[in-house]
Amino acid sequence: MKRTLIGLVAALAVVVITTNYESSGRAGTASAAGLDQHITLWDLAATQAAVPGNTPAEQFPIFAYLNIATYDSVVAIEGGYEPFLVHASPPDDASAEAAVAGAAKTILLHYLPGQATVINTAYANALALIPDGRAEDDGVAFGTSVAVEVIAARASDGFKAPVAYTPSDPLLPGDWVPSGPTPIGTYSGSMTPFVLDSASQFRPAGPPALDSKKWAVDYNEVKEIGSATSTSRTAEQTLAARFWGENPVAQAHGGFRRFVTDHQLDIVDASRFMAMISVTQADAFIACFDAKYQYDFWRPKTAIQGGEMDGNPATAGDSQWTQLLPGIPNHPEYPSAHSCVTPAAAEVTSRFLGTEQIAYTIPSLTGLGDRYYAKAKDLSNEVANARIWGGIHFRTAVEDGTDIGRKTAHRVLSQHFKSAN
């Protein structure tokens, strides 16, 4: 397999755009089959297909469906790990690479039928890397059958179910005010999780009471450092805030593909890593949005511009205040979604490698420069702080979001993706 194609996939990633767990000992090594080209090829294609026209509420589950199907196909053929969902016996000569193509194409065409051109192009490119013959044909057929089982198993999971948002009437201090006509992810908290017992399993206690000292501390921190005109925010903090304001799913998957290449993973470990990450992030997102619409808490801009309404003498309002980052995510503030899913990814990466030293690089989508994280906690801490520096979230929202992400990762990895005995 050609390392040059892997490098091309990693470069294209920039254009588009985490209980004790036993490390397998495989991470960072390439099998005799060579470095992965197929998992990263399909991750890039899925990013190109899923990001336009969809929100993270659609994107996170789609990546979970995709990577469950590809992982279950690969480990059925190559062995080494327990499947996540589908226990199937492949033909003896089936190609794992072809199975990935069959599974990925089937999943993506089912969930993203309007992106057939992108998907079929990726399919043709993937098969061009595989010798023609029975192994290819059997692999495609097997991967397709696994994907069909995944689709059937998740058919009634609540994905994209019509769930209307009803705002409070009348609006009271602390109530969220949507920033657009269609709130994002209203159905997410009603979805059946992939591993968690329920979407509310790790539901936090909620944002601080508006008459509390904690609320005043959270409020004044964001008012000062998250303002568009802040004089206390450093240039590096401003850069980090803007970096983490890029498209979250495209940005994250650029980092995942970079990780596969940097650590020279083969198709087995690459499929396992992507499945671990995708399932954990999907469940962390579901848990996060359960809490978001449960508490329906206001964004900093609404709170600070109306600060005189909260009844707290320590929170002076500023009718002209606005946050550093342009636009306001159209879903409630608490807890922080980025703080749910990114620390979850950091935790998964650490457990996959068997060390806190993750040596992890995330490429920028907008020319801000790659960002490197030596340790999992470095990644988790920066994304949490960056949402405050950007004026998007309060401190309690990022702390409680991080807790959801870590608990979800521990739950997922305590039950799945273990070595086969």
Model confidence pLDDT, tens digit, residues 98-109: 999 999 999 999
Residue 181 token pair:
């006509």
Cβ burial, residue 280 (10 Å; 0-12/13-18/19+): buried
Domain span at 325: 190-246+253-415
Query: How sure is the predictor about 17, in pLDDT bands with cuts at 50, 70 and 90?
Result: very low
CATH of the domain at 80: 1.20.144.10
Nearest to residue 186, comparing CAs of 158, 209, 208, 207? 158
Residue 409 token pair:
């990762």
Which long-range CB contacts under 8 A does 157-163 form with residues at least 24 apart?
157/61, 157/191, 157/192, 158/187, 158/190, 158/191, 158/192, 159/58, 159/61, 159/187, 159/191, 160/58, 160/187, 161/187, 161/190, 161/191, 162/187, 163/187, 163/190
Q: How far apart are the first and last CA of the chain?
A: 30
For residue 308, the 8-state DSSP code is G
Q: Is 284 part of a structural domain of the chain?
A: yes
What is the pLDDT averaged over residues 10-31? 35
Overall number of domains in the chain: 2
288 and 404 in one domain? yes
What is the pLDDT averaged over residues 51-67? 97
Q: How far is the C-alpha of 346 from the C-alpha of 378, rounded, in Å?
A: 9
Contacts of 125 (CB under 8 A, 6+ apart): 41
Q: Is 162 part of a structural domain of the chain?
A: no
Of 128, 153, 178, the one marking the end of a domain is: 153
Q: Is 265 part of a structural domain of the chain?
A: yes
User: Where are the alpha helices (H) located in 79-203, listed in sequence order?
Assistant: 96-111, 116-128, 134-153
Beta-sheet strands, E only, within 243-328: none
Q: How far is the C-alpha of 279 from the C-alpha of 192, rounded, in Å?
A: 12
239 and 148 in one domain? no
At 33 the pLDDT is 52
Q: Is 178 part of a structural domain of the chain?
A: no
204 and 138 in one domain? no
Between 6 and 380, name the one with better pLDDT: 380
106 and 241 in one domain? no
The continuous run of DSSP H or E covering 361 comes out as strand 357-362
One-letter identity of residue 8 = L
199 and 148 in one domain? no
302 and 207 in one domain? yes
At 34 the pLDDT is 76
131 and 199 in one domain? no
What is the pLDDT averaged over residues 57-72? 98
Q: How far is the C-alpha of 176 from the C-alpha of 333, rounded, in Å?
A: 8
The answer to whether the beta carbons of residues 323 and 226 sit under 8 Å apart is yes
What average pLDDT is seen over the chain?
A: 92
Q: Is 183 part of a structural domain of the chain?
A: no
> What is the dihedral sign for C-alpha 223, 226, 229, 235?
positive
Q: Is 174 part of a structural domain of the chain?
A: no
**Which residue's structure tokens are 């209980």?**
19
Contacts of 324 (CB under 8 A, 6+ apart): 226, 227, 228, 230, 233, 238, 241, 242, 389, 390, 391
Longest dimension (CA), the chain: 75
Residue pLDDT, tens place only, 310-362:
999 999 999 999 999 998 999 999 999 999 999 999 999 999 999 999 999 99
The answer to whether the beta carbons of residues 308 and 291 sit under 8 Å apart is no
131 and 197 in one domain? no
228 and 100 in one domain? no
For residue 297, the 8-state DSSP code is B
At 421 the pLDDT is 75
CATH of the domain at 231: 1.10.606.20
User: Phi then psi for 66, rounded to 5 degrees?
Assistant: -60, -50
Residue 14 has pLDDT above 50, yes or no: no
Residue 5 has pLDDT above 80, yes or no: no
**Which residue's structure tokens are 């993937």?**
126
At 135 the pLDDT is 98
219 and 108 in one domain? no
Cβ burial, residue 99 (10 Å; 0-12/13-18/19+): buried
pTM of the model as a whole: 0.92
378 and 275 in one domain? yes
Prior bond to 131 cis, omega within 30?
no
Q: Is 319 part of a structural domain of the chain?
A: yes
At 7 the pLDDT is 36
Give me the percent of the chain exceeding a pLDDT of 90. Answer: 90
The answer to whether the beta carbons of residues 108 and 115 sit under 8 Å apart is yes
Q: How far is the C-alpha of 285 from the C-alpha of 56, rounded, in Å?
A: 9
Residue 102 token pair:
């069959």
Residue pLDDT, tens place only, 215-246:
999 999 999 999 999 999 999 999 999 999 99
237 and 149 in one domain? no
Residue 110 token pair:
């089912």
Residue 210 token pair:
């508006």
Q: How far is CA 69 from CA 59, 61, 87, 224, 284, in A?
A: 16, 12, 11, 46, 20
Q: Is 167 part of a structural domain of the chain?
A: no
